């Protein structure tokens, strides 16, 4: 459960609602036709922009902002050092068993390639191609939400223009001008909320999640190739810890002290 997403969504909604109710009435800001033209128009444009399967995949991706990743880089480094120790003591083939119980498909695939005796250059090639495509698919989903974030305010403005043009055309009753303009502006309000309270923050959190996953997989690739090259586990640890921030680095060090010494 991603606490910051929940906290941000709830506090943002509270701020908006309280802010509206201090000087006005909430009902004014719920307007079905305004929802239709802003949200409906935005998704009509997004539908033209994306094929149906990418459209639904990207929509579904929004739920990822509520999830936290199970794995962290420190654990992965620890796991790789364990594997390196196994490989040094019992040989590369002993890794096959360890791979069976592995929940991470990427790491598992890498180990199986090593166990198969695949050429190191080809192992790197296969894993890096796969990582590049994972990153590409992540970028596509982020791009989807950035498209939503740019189309939302645009359709908000289209809604406001429709409201304004209708109002200006019927300018005979001065007392109706205010409320009509108020309604016309509601779509601009919606468009701005869609972009700044939803689509852009979603794109941003997905981007950070993606960079964390890519970093993790880069650590895996470096580690796997070092294991295949038969490098000393202590050197592997030193190499992989360069991927960590200094604070995280110390936690790994403490856990490993015993094992890596034994594995030398």
DSSP 8-state code for residue 54: H
- Identify residues 40-59 at the interface with its own copies (CB under 8 A): 40-41, 43-52, 54-55
SS (H, E, C) 153-218: HHHHHHHHHHHHHHHHHCCCCHHHHHHHHHHHHHHHHHHHHHHHHHHHHHHHHHHHHHHHHHHHHH
Q: Which of 95, 189, 252, 256 binds its own copies (CB under 8 A)?
A: 189
Q: Which of 104, 157, 213, 259 binds its own copies (CB under 8 A)?
A: 157
- Identify residues 68-107 at the interface with its own copies (CB under 8 A): 68, 105
Stretch that binds its own copies, among 79-87, 88-96, 167-175, 254-262 (CB under 8 A): 167-175
Does position 19 interact with its own copies (CB under 8 A)? The reply is yes
Task: Spell out, one character per residue from 230 to 249, where the chain touches its own copies: x when CB under 8 A holds, - when not.
Answer: -----x--xx--xxxxx---
Task: Spell out, one character per residue from 199 to 228, where the chain touches its own copies: x when CB under 8 A holds, - when not.
Answer: -xxx-xx--x--------------------
Q: How far is the CB of 138 from its own copies (least distance, A)?
A: 11
Calculate the dihedral angle through the C-alpha atoms of 77, 83, 88, 91, rounding to the nearest 10 degrees. Answer: -150
Q: How far is the CB of 94 from its own copies (least distance, A)?
A: 22
- Are 219 and 240 spatial neighbours (Cβ–Cβ below 8 Å)? yes
């Amino acid at each position: 459960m991603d606490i910051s997403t929940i906290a941000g969504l709830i506090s943002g909604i509270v701020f908006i609602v309280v802010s509206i109710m201090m000087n006005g009435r909430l009902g004014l800001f719920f307007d079905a036709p305004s929802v239709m033209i802003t949200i409906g128009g935005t998704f009509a444009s997004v539908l033209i922009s994306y094929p149906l399967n990418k459209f639904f995949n990207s929509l579904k991706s929004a739920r990822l902002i509520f999830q936290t990743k199970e794995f962290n880089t420190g654990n992965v480094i620890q796991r790789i050092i364990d594997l390196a120790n196994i490989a040094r003591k019992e040989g590369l083939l002993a890794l096959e068993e360890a791979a069976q119980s592995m929940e991470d498909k990427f790491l598992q695939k890498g180990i199986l390639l090593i166990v198969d005796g695949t050429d190191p250059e080809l192992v790197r090639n296969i894993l890096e191609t796969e990582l590049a495509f994972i990153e590409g698919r992540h970028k596509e989903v982020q791009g989807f939400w950035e498209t939503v974030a740019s189309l939302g305010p645009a359709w908000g403005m289209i809604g406001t223009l429709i409201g304004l043009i209708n109002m200006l055309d019927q300018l005979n009753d001065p007392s109706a001008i205010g409320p009509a303009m108020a309604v016309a502006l509601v779509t601009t309000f919606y468009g701005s909320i869609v972009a700044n309270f939803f689509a852009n923050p979603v794109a941003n959190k997905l981007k950070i999640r993606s960079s964390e996953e890519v970093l993790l997989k880069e650590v895996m690739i470096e580690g796997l190739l070092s294991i295949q090259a038969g490098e000393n586990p202590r050197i592997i640890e030193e190499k992989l810890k360069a991927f960590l921030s200094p604070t995280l680095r110390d936690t790994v060090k403490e856990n490993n002290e015993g094992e890596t010494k034994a594995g030398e």
